[in-house]
Amino acid sequence: MAELVLSAFLTAVFEKLGSAALNQLTPFKEIHSELKKWERSLSLIRGVLNDASQKEVTSEAVKQWLISLQHLAYDIDDVLDGLATDAMCREFANESEPITRKVKKLIPTCCTGFSSSNSIHGKLSNITTKLQELVDEKNNLGLNVIDGVAKNKNRKYQTSLVDASSIVGRESDKKILLKKLLGDEPRKHNFSIVPIVGMGGIGKTTLARLLYDDKLVKEFFELKAWVCVSEEFDSFTISKIIFQCVGGENKEFADLNVLQVALRDKLMGKRFLLVLDDVWSEKIEDWETLVGPFLAAASRSKIIITTRKQQLLNKLGYGQPYNLNKLSHDDALSLFAQHALGVNNFDTHPQQRIVQKCDGLPLALRALGSLLRTKTDEEEWKELLNDEIWGLEDGGGIVPALRLSYQDLSACLKQLFAYCSLLPKGYMCKKGELILLWMAEGFFQKSTSNKSMERLGEEYFQQLLSRSFFQRVPHDESLFVMHDLMNDLATSVAGEFFIRLDIDTEKDVGKQALKKYRYMSFIREEYITFKKFKALGTTHSLRTFLAVPIVVRDSWHTFFLSNKVLADLLTELPLLRVLCLSKLEIDEVPESVGSLKHLRYLNVSRTNITYLPENVCNLNNLQTLIVSGCSQLTKLPDNFLKLKNLRHFDIQYTCLWNMMPLGSCELKSLRILSNIIVGGNNDFLISGLKNIKDLQGKIYIRELDKVQSARDTQEVNLSKKRVSELHVEWSDVFDDSRNDTLEKDVLNALKPHSDNLKDLEIVWYGGKVFPNWIGDPSFLRLTCISIRSCRNCTFLPPLGKLPSLKKLSIERMDEVKVIGSELLGTNPAFPSLEILSFHDMRRKERGGHNSVTNCNHLTSLRMLDMESCKNLEHCSCPKNIESLSIRWCASIKSVSFATEGGQKLKSLYIHNCNQLVEKVLTNTSMPMLEVARIIAWPDLKSIIGLTCFVHLKELEIQDCPSIESFPAPELPILTSLKHLKIRNCQSMDASFGYWPPSLCKLSIGGLKRPITEWGPQNFPTSLVELQLWGERAVYDVTSGSQLSHILPSSLTHLRLSGFKKLESLSKGLQSLTSLQHLEIWICPKMKRLADMLLPSLLHLEISGCPNLIEKTSKKGSYWPYLPYPLHPHRLKCAETIKLKSSQHQADTVTFHKLMLSQEVDGQNP
């Protein structure tokens, strides 16, 4: 799909050609003349793009013509952006020279992205020549001006007939929708709409067929009609098909009016069911043209609409349609088995992984299953598993089914969707992250309604979401994810302009291949060397250098980037618009960044930088600067206020919160300022916020205890601003200086606009009661609330009345004794609440029937998290609970589930609940459990059986001294278990020998039977990480040879910890030929390592082994074998060595930075 971005991209180019900044160049005749030639040529080319988009599918020549045109369009845009940037720089500088002199001064600077042998005139002339060649080639290819693109008519032939026996996994969906169809739903007319929304291939039509063919439906409705609408919403054709269905006649009608009168007569007083399948129209006018005859029908008539788009439903008042989700793993497995083998299930490994590849999409499961039915060789199945589904001939029907949705997008949306190919599969992002990137890339066209770029981005994202290109992440309203097959589609249409360097990418991308790419992302890995990007040094056209995921939510991971990448590579990429180095172990931003004059987006969040170079202030185009989480960053550049185009500045979790420069509120483009501090070193006044007219998004306000008058906060007038996230914070010191009345007035004056607020956090508030606006049901979009450490409050606000609240966190409310009706409000309370957590509620007394800890009435609740609730004795869980976590609740004795409760529980975490009785596990069925963590449960005596936990993926049992029996022989039944940890259960007497077939990581030790007495172990080949924990002193291991029987050759990671008598590893590890990571912790007598393994290690860490410190020093006997950076020929092998002399000593010697900075140049440090 080489045309994917051209139409939108050329629109942006035309805007720049006509911009005021470039018009300043008109006296310079040479430049003006060339730009006019470009405009004429591009106009001729633009008219034939629709024809080219159709012909490129069958004509390689047309496809290559489009690719060449796209590359040239990028070059044109780069030149125009350079000219406009320099003109803007002059404007900011307020220089008064005549315009001709300005242009002459401008020319040398805009050549910086080109080779020194070409002047700007030569570059312009070269582009003009190439454009003319493309115009001439256009004529030779026979490309013509046509309107629109051809429609796919295959969908027109979908019918209502269904084989119900072949449908899998839709019983619950059918049950819910049957209730809607047969019930008396709230309605405006005699009929109501039952909308079914989902991505292409998810099974909307199949579900509608099941409903249409149901016996109860047939009995309930007097008339039925089925119409496959597809892309073209033709009211005449639709009305005629309905007439034929309900009247059984094939009459001809002169016009729509005559037809609809006849149809109205047929429907008069009759209860009817109409299915409008695969509706694409978003126009309310189309619906209004069709709906007239339906008004005459009998009450409780229904119309089922299946669609990939939600806009029309929103306009009709159905903003909460039935969103059809992908199939569960078991249902997906069953459906695939039907089509692949003609059976209902199978258990072999390749098939399981193919099913995972389809990710619950019925269309993909049926297509691949049918394809594999002709392949009987297991190797052929494995080959298919390794192929991209988009490489298959026609993709088994999947490609056209999903590409149809793509083809229906506008040119701008196609461009935005293709950009998403840079995101890794499964990445859960916030829409704001993407919008800032899209904005930086210049994807947003100017709006005739003067909407801001942020607002346009929101609307574009909403369109992609409503068409199922994105899906909401369950239980978190703020996160979105792309289905894996949608990610594949994005990669397929992105062509040769976008590349994502995955960790597991096997292909070696050469210089010529990388030269053509304009947008590049790379997956973080522990060590990122210069070699990964070396080929990029030959191209100067890259616009995006993006570390992904953009936000790393696992804070304990570390990612080391070669200093050579920053020092040498960035200087070769002068056209960058986006630079994201987030969460990389770097300690400075290179000076070369200040010369990236096209740069709009700079993200160095969660790095170790201590300052920003002063020349960063020369980035006149910079729109987004993100330094959040840079805990060592203490100072901003002196000329920070020169960044006049800065719109988003994020300084969360930095030391800059009290060092904002004076005049920050005078940055007129600023929309989002993450941290606003009252007081601080520069005495920032909160009233200064009133000067930021377009303030929106996230607002963090700290040190509100310094506000002297509520009038200051009233001047901010947050109720007039589009604030979506509000975080307010006072001091953590609660003394006599606090004024609870003033603090209540301040919080009351900070009331935001109810139409926009989605997230609210209140910390260290000193008032005794909360203002009335907190809990006001008029905040219809408020989905997340966190209230922490408000130590004077005795009651919680009535949050139960908020209709959309999905996540509620209450923490350390010292004076709150009872949580009941004052929080719940009137029934039904918390209609949308999905996640509820209480932490550190020290004085909370035992709740009654209406207590929130009696959660049976919270029917939407999916996750319940209770930590350090001192007086909590009982917890009652609702039927649909999926995650339950109870930690450090010393008084809790029992946990109960509603009738049939526990059936959907996927995660169970119990930690340090000393009085909890064992029947929590024995009396509750948990067939869907995936993660179980049982830690420090002293009274737990046994795990009775594992056969019912077939979905279990992670199991941890630790510090349970009384547990005696564990059903180790049942472990092979757990085919999904990947991580297993059993540690410090001194009474457990279990015979291990056979293990789960998919086990990847095992952590074990501290059991009754010592490891030395274990028999031979049948570990699966999937086991790559093993952690062994020391035994009791009487049984302790002294030599590595005593462990050889438990060390499989598949290991890549090995950790030995707490073996107090272990002296030598010189024997026993010879078979570990794949070992890359070795960690030895708290083995005080350890003297010898396995010499032969040391050179091949990527990571060696020694802690609490004093005898090894001397041997691994520069003069030690192991020095020649260690892969130190002082040995250049070993640099490719060894990445890092950490040495700690004792368990409690913090000193760590780390060599990875030396290695990564010098790469393989052979230079000694």
Average pLDDT over residues 252-267: 90
Lowest mean pLDDT among 389-403, 929-943, 968-982, 1126-1140: 1126-1140
> Which tens digit of pLDDT belongs to each residue from 110-137?
434 433 334 677 788 888 888 889 888 9
Kindly list the distances between the CA atom of residue 645 and the CA atoms of 618, 625, 851, in Å, as whole numbers in the listed order: 11, 11, 51
- State how far the Cα of 773 lies from the Cα of 760, in Å rounded to an integer: 12
- State how far the Cα of 272 lies from the Cα of 299, in Å rounded to an integer: 9
DSSP 373-402: TT---HHHHHHHHHS-GGGSGGGGGHHHHH
Amino acid found at 104:
K
Q: What is the pLDDT of residue 1032?
A: 63
Q: Is the dihedral of CA 445, 449, 450, 451 positive or negative?
A: negative
Which residues 6+ apart lie within 8 Å of 199 measured at CB?
Answer: 308, 361, 402, 405, 467, 468, 469, 471, 483, 486
3-state SS, 743-811, equals HHHHHHHCCCCCCCCCEEEEECCCCCCCCCCCCCCCCCCCCEEEEECCCCCCCCCCHHHCCCCCEEEEE
Q: Which residues pair with 273 in a beta bridge?
A: 224, 302
Q: What is the pLDDT of residue 1153?
A: 33
**Residue 907, token pair as written in the block:** 């995660």
**Residue 273 pLDDT greater than 70, yes or no:** yes
* Burial label, 933 (beta-carbon count in 10 A; 0-12, 13-18, 19+): middle
Bigger pLDDT: 602 vs 466: 602
Q: What is the pLDDT of residue 100?
A: 43
Q: What is the pLDDT of residue 446?
A: 66
- State how far the Cα of 621 lies from the Cα of 605, in Å rounded to an integer: 19
**Residue 180, token pair as written in the block:** 């809607």
**Residue 663 pLDDT greater than 80, yes or no:** no
> Which tens digit of pLDDT belongs to each residue from 512-570?
556 678 999 998 887 788 877 876 666 688 999 999 887 766 556 778 888 888 888 88
Q: Give the phi and the psi of residue 1004 in degrees, each rounded to 5.
A: -150, 150
**Residue 595 pLDDT greater than 50, yes or no:** yes
- The answer to whether 796 and 813 have CB atoms below 8 angstroms apart is yes
Average pLDDT of the chain is 79
Q: What is the pLDDT of residue 381?
A: 65
DSSP 1002-1049: EEEEEESS-GGG----B--TT--EEEEE---GGG---BGGGGGGG--T
The long-range contacts involving 410-414, CB below 8 angstroms and separated by at least 24 positions, are 410/8, 411/5, 411/6, 411/7, 411/8, 411/11, 412/8, 412/11, 412/443, 412/444, 412/445, 412/460, 413/460, 413/463, 413/464, 414/1, 414/4, 414/5, 414/8, 414/493
Amino acid found at 67:
I
Q: What is the pLDDT of residue 1127?
A: 31
Terminus-to-terminus CA distance in the chain, angstroms? Answer: 50
- State how far the Cα of 992 lies from the Cα of 967, in Å rounded to an integer: 9
Stated as kind and residue range, the H or E segment containing 1140 is strand 1136-1140
> Which tens digit of pLDDT belongs to each residue from 740-792?
999 999 999 999 988 889 999 999 999 999 999 999 999 999 999 999 999 99
Kindly report the number of other CB atoms within 10 A of residue 711's CB atom.
Answer: 12
Q: What percentage of residues in the chain have a pLDDT greater than 70?
A: 77
Lowest mean pLDDT among 404-418, 627-641, 962-976: 404-418
Which residues 6+ apart lie within 8 Å of 162 measured at CB?
Answer: 206, 209, 210, 212, 213
- Averaging pLDDT over each range in 44-58, 665-679, 965-979, which range is the top one? 965-979
Crossing angle of the two packed helices 349-358 and 362-372, in degrees rounded to 10: 140
Q: How far is CA 372 from the centre of its chain?
A: 32
- Comparing C-alpha atoms, which of 970, 962, 1013, 969 is closest to residue 988? 962
What DSSP character marks residue 568? I
Residues counted in the chain: 1165
- Comparing C-alpha atoms, which of 931, 929, 892 is closest to residue 912? 892
Q: What is the pLDDT of residue 1090?
A: 76
- State how far the Cα of 809 lies from the Cα of 205, in Å rounded to an integer: 40
Place of tokens 């200051």: 712
pTM: 0.69
Q: What percentage of residues in the chain have a pLDDT greater than 90?
A: 26
- Comparing C-alpha atoms, which of 528, 614, 541 is closest to residue 572? 541
Q: Is the dihedral of CA 435, 320, 312, 244 positive or negative?
A: positive
Q: How confident is the model at residue 383 (pLDDT cuts 50, 70, 90)?
A: low
Which residues 6+ apart lie within 8 Å of 759 measured at CB?
Answer: 478, 724, 725, 726, 782, 783, 784, 785
Kindly list the distances between the CA atom of residue 28 and the CA atoms of 89, 103, 104, 131, 923, in Å, as whole numbers in the listed order: 18, 7, 8, 22, 85
Q: Residue 679, by phi and psi: left (phi above 0), alpha (psi -120 to 50) or beta? A: left
Stated as kind and residue range, the H or E segment containing 490 is helix 484-494
Question: Is residue 549 reached through a cis peptide bond, with omega within 30 degrees of 0 on the bond before it?
Answer: yes
The helices-and-strands tally (H runs, E runs) of the chain is 31, 39
Q: Is the dihedral of CA 842, 847, 852, 854 positive or negative?
A: positive
- The answer to whether 1138 and 1149 have CB atoms below 8 angstroms apart is yes
Average pLDDT over residues 129-151: 79
- Comparing C-alpha atoms, which of 775, 761, 689 is closest to residue 727? 761
What are the sequence ranges of the domains in the chain?
Answer: 6-140, 154-323, 329-400, 595-661, 1024-1165
**Residue 452 pLDDT greater than 80, yes or no:** yes
CATH fold, domain 154-323, is Rossmann fold (3.40.50)
